[in-house]
Amino acid sequence: MSRELATGAAWMNGSIMPISEASIPVNDWGLIHSDITYDVVPVWRGAFFRLDHYLERFFRSMETLKLDPGLGPEEIAGVLGELVAATGLRDAYVAMVTSRGVNMVPGSRDPRDCRNHFFAWCVPYIHVIRPEIAEHGAHVRVAKSVRRIPPASVDPRVKNYQWGDFTQGLFEAKSVGAETTLLLDTEGNLTEGPGFNVFLVKDGALVTPDLGILEGISRQTVLDIAAELGLAVDIRPVPLDELMLADEVFITTSGGGVAPITRVDDRVFSNGAPGEVTMRLKDAYFSWAERPEHRTEIRYLNI
């Protein structure tokens, strides 16, 4: 393990380097057109959590966007394992990325003339909601100045870097002291936030949106846990009014698992403390992260 890699590293063109040295050309379509897809898999206590699920979604995204970096799932899994092992990080946030690349025909604007390329990077584990905030429950603002990009324009099931709507919502949230933002669709139904899905708890049952969202792996993990625990789940359009009548609210994210939300705008939930169902699911999530069937152990160097 190199000490200079412990704060972050990247894999590009077969080489591992400090993340500060990683770069792409200024005319890469991933940069100038956001013509790119990615996915992020967490490493928890020395192993990838549900790596096969993240790889499957990544390859679906590439297929949808007609991207092909010339690597298969096993090769990418190998790259990710090699990268994390080089850093020595036991808890990490690991990104796999495929960009359209640079157009190889001078003057061409045909995406088929671009050379697609894959790269990866990792940093110490990132919490979408900081642990000290999540411990007591976070404050979320429902964005008033922007709505989620319609699925007919940008498919939210394909993980992407087009965060114009999220970024505007985040500025709005931060201006009133909220931790993060939640966006509605054009019909006034809940969608998602920057890096997370949202769940409501009402009378012990879970409710979560079905449209305008990335189908999160952490979201799916909670759905799987709910089935194991015998909790009822309703997946459907969720109007904002229904959110405000919930007993509990929480988010799911690869950056922290299950995080309680105790305030949305001016509405306080579960007496300002994380709810009972939320905490049960949060504990179960990290229990699942320890199960051998969900773990892909990393072979660290010099061990």
- Domain residues of the chain, as ranges? 3-124, 131-288
CA dist 1 and 249 (Å) reads 41
Q: pLDDT tier at 3 (50, 70, 90 boundaries)?
A: confident
Report pLDDT for 237: 98
Q: Is the CATH number 3.30.470.10 carried by domain 3-124?
A: yes
Taking only the tens place, the pLDDT of each residue in 143-185 is 999 999 999 999 999 999 999 999 999 999 999 999 999 999 9
Answer positive or negative: Cα dihedral of 67, 70, 73, 75: negative
- Alpha-carbon distance 175 to 238, whole Å? 26
pLDDT over 90, % of the chain = 98
Asked: is 131-288 a CATH 3.40.50.2300 domain? The reply is: no
Distance CA 217, CA 197 (A): 10
Predicted confidence band at 135 (pLDDT cuts at 50, 70, 90)?
Answer: very high
Examine the pLDDT at 134 and tell me if it is beyond 60: yes
State mean pLDDT over 270-276: 95
Whether residue 204 is predicted with pLDDT greater than 70 in this model: the reply is: yes
Under the banding of pLDDT at 50, 70 and 90, the label for residue 301 is confident
Segment 17-44 mean pLDDT: 97
- Is a pLDDT exceeding 80 seen at residue 130? yes
Say if strands 248-253 and 233-235 run parallel, antiparallel, or are unpaired.
unpaired
**Six-digit token pair at 247?**
């007993």
Cβ atoms of 255 and 126 closer than 8 Å: yes
pLDDT value of residue 37: 98
For residue 2, the model assigns a pLDDT of 67
Q: What pLDDT score does 35 carry? A: 98
Contact 204, 231 (CB under 8 A): yes
Distance (Å, whole) CA 269 – CA 256: 20
Mean pLDDT of 5-24: 96
In order of 103, 133, 141, 215, 288, the CA distances from 57 in angstroms are 26, 30, 29, 9, 20
- How far, in Å, CA of 51 to CA of 45, rounded? 14
The pLDDT of 204-211, averaged and rounded, is: 97
Q: Is the pLDDT of residue 186 over 60?
A: yes
Averaged confidence pLDDT in the chain: 96
| Distance set, CA 234 to CA 171, 199, 208, 249, 269 (Å) | 31, 10, 7, 14, 20
Region 46-61 average pLDDT: 98
pTM equals 0.95
CA angle in degrees (0–180, nearest 5) for 54-59-63: 150
